[in-house]
Amino acid sequence: MKKFIRKMFSIMLVTVLVLSLAGCGKNSNGGSEQQKADTTASAKTINVGVTDSLGGVNPFVIDQTEINKYVVGLMFLPLVELDNDLNFQGMLADSITTEDNINFIVHIDDKATWSDGTPVTAADVEYTVRRLASPIVNNTTLMLYAFEGTNDSGFVEEGAESIEGVQVIDDKTVQFTSKYPMALTTFENTYARYIHTMPKHVIEKFSEEELLSADWFNHPDVISGPFYLSAYDNDHYISYIANTDYWKGAPKIDNLNIKIVDASQIYSGLQSGEIDITHHTMTAIPQEDYDSIEKLENVKTVYGAPITNQSAFVQTANIPDARVRQALVYAIDRQKLVDELLRGHGEVVDGFLSSASPFFDEGITPISYDPEKAKELLAEAGWDGSQTLRFYVNSGDSTFVNGAQVLVAQWAAVGIKVEVQTVDLATLMTVAGSKDYDIMAVQYTYAPVDPYPDVSWLLSGEGSWTGYANDEINEALTGTQLTSDVEEIKALYSIVDKKVQEDVPMFSVYILSAQGAVSNRISGAQPSAYGFFNDVQNWTVVE
C-alpha cells in the first residue's frame, strides 16, 4: 500500500496545490456545423472566469489538474462527482458499492445515453480504462497500478483485450478489483471522479497510437455530457455549445465560455460583466480585491467552505527536537492572521483536517498563542538562539508573503531567528523534494472526504518532505482503508491529528475560505469548490 500512496502523491500534488499551469501551446479548433457556437444576439451565454491554464482536451493525454478535469467533464461525464455538501453525486453511475473494500461494483445509470442516442454501457467504461492502461497511451495520472491485471506502472500489455481488475458484469454493471484494501471514498474520490468514460463504438476505430493525437478529440461529436466543445486556446479560453440531447435535460443556455485570465483581471471582469461567475479553487482572486468585489452591485459574493490549508512543513532532521517545533506554533498568533490577513474568512486548526471534512474532530483544541510557553519550551530544549532557520515561501502567494513577515517577527520575539526566502512555486517544490529547508509553506488542499493519500505520503518517513513517520499514525491511517464507517474513520484521523499536534512535523498556519462571485444575471449557478458543474444544465440567464 505504501508503494500505491507514494506513486499516487506525485500525481495528486498537481491538483492540491492550486497551480497556475502553463498551457501546452495554443490550439484553436472549430467543430462541426452541429457544434458551432450560437453567436446571435438572442443567445444565452455564461462566462466563467478562471486563473488556471488549460493543459489539453484529450482525456487520454491530460493530467488530472482541476481545469483539465472539468473541461473534459463537461463533454464526458465522470462516474461520480462530489457535490457542494461533499456527498458523492452520481454522474454516469447511479451507484458504487463494495462489501470487502477490494471489489467495487459500479452501476451505470439506466438512462445514460450518448448524444447519438446509443446507451452508455459497462463496456464503454471497461474499454476506456483498458486503453488508459495501455503502455502506448502511457498515461500514469490515473494510477491504475492499484487494480489487478496491471503492472507496477499501471499498464497492461500493448493491445490487451481485457484487464483482470476491470470486468463487465452486465450491460450496465462493471466491477473494479483492487490489489489492496481501499476505502470506498478513496475509490470514489481518486478513480470514479477522474475516469471520463469514452464512447467505445466511436473511439475503437483508433489505434492505441492514434488515441494520443486523433483530431476527433478536439471537436468530439458523440458525448455524454451537457456541452460540445466548439473552440479552445490553452492560455485564453474554452468555448462550448449546448448538447440539446443531453440525457439529464437540455442546457438552458446556448453557450458556455471558460475565460482564462490573470488574477488581477478578475475584479474588472466581474465589474464589466465580461465574467459572470468564478470558481473557488480554479479562480485565485487576490485577497486585496475581496473588499472591492464585495462592493460590486452587479454580483453576489460567496465564501466557500474552508478547505485550502496554508500548511507549514518542518524538516524534522534539521529541527529534531519536538519542543522547538511546538514553540514555533505557540509563538504565532494564528487567529490574528485569520482576522486581519484573511479578513475573518478562514479558520485555525491543528493537523490536516478542516471543519469541512466529515472526519474533522472538533474536540481537538488548536495550540494557542502563548509566547511565554514558547520560551519555556525553547529553554527546556537548550535552544540558544544562534541558529537561523530558512523559511521558504511561494512568491506567487502575495497574501502569505505578507503573512510570513508577521510570523518571522513573532518568532523573533521568543528568540527564534528566521529568514524568509521567497521563490516561485516550481522552485519551492524542488526545495521541498531536496529537503534543503527548515520550514516550508505552501497552500495544500487535503481532499475533505479522502485525505488519506496525501497524509500518508507526507508522514511516510525519509521519502517524504518532512522526514517524519510514526507507527501509531501508520496504524491509524491503514485502518481508514479497512472501513467505510464515518465515525470509525473520524476516530482514526483524530489519532493522526493529535499526534501531529504533539510532534509538529507540520502545522496549519490557517485554512482559507476562498471568495467566489456570481453575476446577478445568472440563476441556478453558485461558486463552489466541489459540485460546480454538476447541474450546469440548469444554469440560466435571467435578464
- pLDDT tens per residue across all 543 residues of the chain: 444 444 444 334 433 333 333 333 334 443 344 444 454 546 899 999 998 888 889 999 988 788 999 999 999 999 999 999 999 999 999 999 999 999 999 999 999 999 999 999 999 999 999 999 999 999 888 889 999 999 999 999 999 999 999 999 999 999 999 999 999 999 999 999 999 999 999 999 999 999 999 999 999 999 999 999 999 998 899 999 999 999 999 999 999 999 999 989 999 999 999 999 999 989 989 888 999 999 999 999 999 999 989 999 999 999 999 999 999 999 999 999 999 999 999 999 999 999 999 999 999 999 999 999 999 999 999 999 999 999 999 987 888 899 999 999 999 999 999 999 999 888 998 999 999 999 999 988 888 999 998 899 899 998 899 999 999 999 999 999 998 889 999 999 999 999 999 999 999 999 999 999 999 999 999 999 999 999 999 999 997
DSSP state at residue 215: G
* SS3 category, 125: helix
Distance of CA 64 to the CA centre of its chain: 9
Q: Which residues contact 379 (CB under 8 A, 6 or more apart)?
A: none
CB atoms within 10 A of CB 328: 26
| Structure confidence at residue 30 (pLDDT) | 39
Determine phi and psi for 299, rounding to 5 degrees: -135, 160
45 burial type by CB count under 10 A (0-12 exposed, 13-18 middle, 19+ buried) = middle
Entry pTM = 0.85
SS3 content of the chain, % helix, strand, coil (to 5): 30, 20, 50
Q: E strand or H helix at 209, and its extent?
A: none
Which distant-in-sequence residues (6+ apart) come within 8 Å of 361 by Cβ?
353, 490, 493, 494, 497
- Torsion angle, alpha carbons of 90, 92, 95, 99, to 10: -120
Distances (CA, A) of 483 to 175, 404, 442, 478: 19, 40, 31, 10
18 torsion bin: left (phi>0), alpha (psi -120 to 50), beta (else): left
* Distance between CA atoms of residues 443 and 346, nearest Å: 13
Identify the bridge partners of residue 439 per DSSP, sorted by sequence position. 314, 391
Q: Give the Cα separation of 517 and 528 in Å (integer).
A: 10
Q: List domains and CATH numbers for the chain.
A: 1-74+225-304+515-543 (3.40.190.10), 76-212 (3.90.76.10), 308-512 (3.10.105.10)
Q: Rounded to whole angstroms, how far apart are CA atoms 521 and 4? A: 46
User: What pLDDT score was predicted for residue 16?
Assistant: 39
pLDDT score recorded for residue 42: 60
Show the cell assigned to 113.
445515453
C-alpha cell at 218: 478536439
Cell numbers that stand for 491 in this block: 476516530
The three grid cell numbers given for residue 419, joined into one nine-digit string: 529568514
pLDDT at 65: 81
Closest among 6, 471, 50 to 235, alpha carbons compared: 50
Is residue 521 helix, strand or coil?
A: coil
Q: Can you give the pLDDT at residue 399?
A: 85
Note the pLDDT tens digit of each residue in 262-297. Answer: 989 999 999 999 999 999 989 989 888 999 999 999
